[in-house]
Structure 1
């Protein structure tokens, strides 16, 4: 049997990573390349790579689907996902769609219904859900190695330059031309942190957590570049997530699981896991991760449950993102901001925000509940 044919929608941004991965899988004989599309035509190097893979560049998405791919990778802005995913399923293709899958529950439910009607699988590109560190951490929790889990949290301290918000018309927006975009720090760049915490807490697809949030911005955008989110679900450990794109000194994000017998810290970008139990010294282990396109290929002949990041499982995440879209965003006082022009480019930072984020997650508190209170509130 010939390998499945894959098509890629969106070759810029993270789409370039997907293209590299498709090259790997085509080279390994696991896929054939049907082609790709993007708003921008390919340059000479990309055109050469497309031809080498035996595919073609389509002028639009409808033309790409006429090539009858078995799998479509959708790496376009979130507000385009619903239409593109539903069209791919209607054309008979399985889908790997980038995160966030969408920012509205109605869109997610329509995408889920389209997958079910076509009897096709839809995987969401939450890459860290493929981490074996996550599998190990879940087992620790299930086996009671950490005792009763009392809290799950995540921190994120990144720095984004001014160009981050000029990269596309939808950047930093809640809506574009009347369509929900939801490009806030919690909804997009730190979507992995939110989803990882929800996955570890065991929140089911039919559950929507009670949410509290405090959102801030340092520039004239519609969304937060700094925020704290607390989620509670009956019978589940509480979750606190604090993030910023305005760190003075960026730090790798991590997920924290705390129990009454120990704790674990998971640096989800690098699959590193630190475990400390019963007062013993912490032990750090390195783990591998399963590529989600590989995972989709393996699951195509099996049930949806075989997927590491199935569309249906992201419903609580999308519910939280939709709720965030209605929350007020406050502006950080000018006196609490700093301007930088360094190797990261021209950018804003918030004085002391990294320590406040660490404290919020460690104490399971919103920014306004911290003592002493952050000076930038």
Structure 2
């Protein structure tokens, strides 16, 4: 998606530019991180918070340091009254498409939280509508703002680890039962007839999937040949909390990701690029890379990070290329669609997990899941192909 640089009246080349007015839709929960980031960019003179869209207005304590921005539960009305140039949308998954299209109709450019939509059809409706409106849209996969991503792609293309054999992702996190009660849509596949698809692979550990696809050089919908999924749950929820996916790209590269929210202990998620003469491990929350290859000692590096809202502002100001336009998440949305259309997650038997105290509520721990997640990333295997005692219970689904 390309848009012309901003030509706000009263600004000329070489002169100071007025900050872009921003409206934030969804300022609590994860949205709080966007509020903090907007404050940072305000201090740099890049944006100003013009309005907040929330069902319940933020109080003075929540707005500390922001003055009194306009507040409303009607995004369209708020955009019209504030004249905001940018809308940051961090709302429940099933509302993303409609809110993005409201913003686009008002001429507001978008930072849209991941996952961009709960189905491929809703994703296409959003992406096509945004393109037709002529506004820019950035999808909030912050890991793709890491400077490590292009650095790893260069290493692969230069043959640093030989022939690319596959890419494996691993995410093992701890979430207690309160996590699945934090919102009405949490842990749901649907609300009534409306798709939500809030699963381990599609929301909390979605970055592992998107990052693995990016390192494989296969980010567009047409880059995916077929997808295998195995979805399970230990918690009393609709969606998966322990799952894995493996896909084949049109280049012939296998990409797998194993994820759980029922780990013994939380660990930093990572992606491993396997080559015929070495491997590259990327801990994407740390921007840390480890290169291991034949004939060399291990080489570790830490890379910078470009903030996605800051990148959107630069795109509007001077035409800087967007890092994560909608089309660059098409392959990820094929995975979301495969999860959405797969059979409901298999409930793990009671002897496959145990309960222990969590941060604010009990949590369920799947026995040995940390090792299985790591083994999947190392071997590009599904859980059913590893030695999990519950593996025969998994129902593999294939999507083309």
Which TM class, normalised by the smaller chain length?
over 0.9
1:171 aligns with 2:186: yes
2:144 and 2:137 map into 1 onto residues whose CA distance is 14
1:229 and 1:33 map into 2 onto residues whose CA distance is 39
Partner of residue 268 from structure 1, selected from 280, 284, 288? 284
Contact 1:350/1:376 (8 A) holds in 2 = no
The structural deviation recorded for 1:41 is 2.0
Q: Specify the alignment match of 1:374 in structure 2.
A: 388
Partner of residue 107 from structure 1, selected from 94, 104, 122? 122
Q: Specify the alignment match of 2:394 in structure 1.
A: none
1:158 and 1:47 map into 2 onto residues whose CA distance is 31
Partner of residue 346 from structure 1, selected from 351, 356, 362? 362
Q: Specify the alignment match of 2:378 in structure 1.
A: 362
Q: Specify the alignment match of 1:241 in structure 2.
A: 257
Root-mean-square deviation over aligned CA pairs = 1.5
Q: Specify the alignment match of 1:84 in structure 2.
A: 99
Q: Specify the alignment match of 1:11 in structure 2.
A: 27
Structure 1 length-normalised TM: 0.95
1:202 and 1:77 map into 2 onto residues whose CA distance is 29
The structural deviation recorded for 1:31 is 1.1
1:263 and 1:341 map into 2 onto residues whose CA distance is 37
Structure 2 segments unaligned to the other structure (5+ residues):
1-10, 12-17, 392-400
Q: Specify the alignment match of 1:70 in structure 2.
A: 85
1:197 and 1:266 map into 2 onto residues whose CA distance is 10
1:323 aligns with 2:348: no
The structural deviation recorded for 1:136 is 1.1
1:294 and 1:184 map into 2 onto residues whose CA distance is 29
1:300 aligns with 2:316: yes
1:197 aligns with 2:207: no
1:334 aligns with 2:350: yes
Structure 1 residues 166-220: Cα deviation after superposition (integer angstroms, max 9, x where no partner): 0001011011131110001001011101111111112234333411111110122
1:236 and 1:99 map into 2 onto residues whose CA distance is 27
Contact 1:241/1:361 (8 A) holds in 2 = yes
Aligned to 1:247, what secondary structure does the other structure show? Answer: coil
Aligned to 2:323, what secondary structure does the other structure show? Answer: coil
The structural deviation recorded for 1:302 is 5.7
The 1:302–1:317 alpha-carbon spacing in structure 2 relative to 1, beyond 3 Å, is farther
The structural deviation recorded for 1:279 is 3.9
1:88 and 1:257 map into 2 onto residues whose CA distance is 38
Q: Specify the alignment match of 1:143 in structure 2.
A: 158
